[in-house]
Chain A
Amino acid sequence: MSEQYRNNFLREVEKNVEEGEWVKMCMQCGVCSGSCPLGPHWEHPPQEIFMMIRANKREEVLTSSSMWMCTSCYNCMARCPRGLPITHIMHGLAHYAKRIGIAPKEQPTAKFAQKFWDNLAKKGRVNELKLGLALYFMNGFSEGVKTSLKMKDIGLGMLKTKRMNPLEILGGHGVKDQSGFQKMLQKATELESARVGKEQGK
């Protein structure tokens, strides 16, 4: 963390987190926390996260697994009386924690979300089969075999109904303009890093 944010996590969030400038608008009514489908599993539900940001609890917020349990259901956003884009702030906080390297390492959705991005960034389109396999094997080989066996019947159901194609393993779907797509993504990533880097005062 750069000096400029010492004791001012709210400012850091406002500058670096997607839609972070909204955090100060929260009036702590708790509607979002009560609307969250996996809320009971969140260590700190959204309302609490917003309070903690203002209370400067930087480590506790950014290392929390809570935001990674957002299902993107938009229930909170539809109901928030202050109109906070809560879903996007949760995604933004999760991304920022990951970017600066303090997101929880073993959080399953954090791992899955990264694999999803890697999968789509590779060819421009998601390869569901490779994504599924990567997911089942993300906790190592023997766990993967167990999960795959557990999921075997689901796979067979999808295969039978032609909703899964085993040949995808050989390559599968992708955009035709690979080079343009990759250059575009690279440039966007550079610009984003420059933006956040600049904000961090690096």
Chain B
Amino acid sequence: MKEYSFYPGCSSQKGASAENYMRSTNSISKELGFKLNDIPDWNCCSASIGYAGGGELPRLVLSARNLALSEQAHPKQDVVATCAACWLATREAKERLEHDKSLFAEANIALKEAGLQLKNDQGKNIRHMVEVLIEDFGYEEIKKHVKKPLEGIKIAGYVGCQTNRPFGIAGESFENPMYLDKLTETLGADPVKNYDKKVSCCGGALAFSEPEKSQALIKDIIGAAYDGGADMIVTPCPVCQMNVEVYQDQINQKYGTKFKIPVVYYSTLMSVAFGQSAKEAALDGQVIPAKQLEQIAAK
């Protein structure tokens, strides 16, 4: 069985905003047969917004601690994250520490205070869950597990920013990555072609601090999905998922739109298509219920 050193991140914890992402991911791992070993006592990566209080080194040290713990507990296993920001912060930290010897030395001085050491020499890759699914399993393999194809559902694949830039998924372009569409198709659903807000920004963390400006961006993301005839939106990122799902009422009030479109994780789609229960697919985590998926899960 394939095993990975797993970095869940703050939003995946019990009672946190992406708990449903975690639950559906655990379900598909059972079906596909891989094991996620939590990095023991992991800490927050400070995402992309920690920079006001945290300088370069303190922020790097956060990821360095996670990596050191991973080296200790799961030598040689790749580090895998489901959250786009976790993946990005961890991968950036690893690369920065590889390239900058003085930062690497200072990071280790700080880590020593916690009784840890980062070697950064195990050849670990820092990967997003989507990479694992596509590269270690592949569409063909995934297709073999589909028991209830998601027939007749039209889905806009909203890739967003941080699973796409600056690293992205190997073989995909920044401007028009196809992996969500391919995955949707693999599961038997119908991807929206030419979804023109596919890689647009939802405002990220600024949805909290600049709600009006961010909601204007979100409005266009949802509007374009409706224009493409979508029944629902699928995303690989907890920030995208939350931003695009939960502000629809406020956007409707402000702009007079009538948005009510479910926004689901790819892991929820997969879980339903794999024939797992509504609970396993975490359909009860939808603030806007995904009724078509509920029906398929109940069949």
Q: Which residues of A contact B (CB under 8 A)?
A: 18, 37-38, 41, 69, 71-75, 77-79, 87, 91-92, 94-95, 98-99, 103, 108-114, 116-118, 120-121, 124-126, 128, 132, 135, 150, 153-154, 157-158, 160-165, 167-168, 173, 175-177, 180-181, 183-189, 191-192, 195-196
Contact = CB atoms under 8 A, between A and B. Distances in A.
Interface residues of B, number: 67
Contact of A184 (B49, B56, B61): B61
B43 to A, nearest CB: 4
B123 interface: no
A20 to B, nearest CB: 10
A108 B284 CA distance: 33
Interface string B48-68: 111111111110111001000
Contact of B18 (A92, A163, A189, A195): A163
Nearest to B173: A78
Contacts of B165: 73-75, 77-78
Contacts of B284: 161-162
Interface in B50-105: 50-58, 60-62, 65
Contacts, number: 217
B43 A109 contact: no
Interface stretch (B142-150, B182-190, B203-211, B257-265): B203-211
Given A128-B17, A180-B113, A117 B46 contact: yes
Contact of A124 (B44, B53, B210, B246): B44
Contacts of A158: 17, 246, 287
Given A71-B203, A125-B10, A161-B284, A185 B41 contact: no
A74 B110 contact: no
B10 A37 contact: no
Main secondary structure of the interface of A (DSSP, over half): helix
Given A165-B14, A167-B15, A109 B113 contact: no
Interface of B: 10-11, 13-20, 41-44, 46-58, 60-62, 65, 106-107, 109-116, 161-162, 164-166, 174, 200-201, 203-206, 208-210, 213-214, 217, 246-247, 249-250, 284-287
19 contacts: A38-B213, A71-B205, A72-B205, A73-B201, A78-B165, A109-B206, A109-B209, A113-B52, A116-B52, A116-B205, A121-B53, A121-B54, A125-B10, A154-B250, A164-B17, A167-B15, A175-B41, A185-B58, A192-B56
B53 A117 contact: yes
A112 B208 contact: yes
A189 B44 contact: no
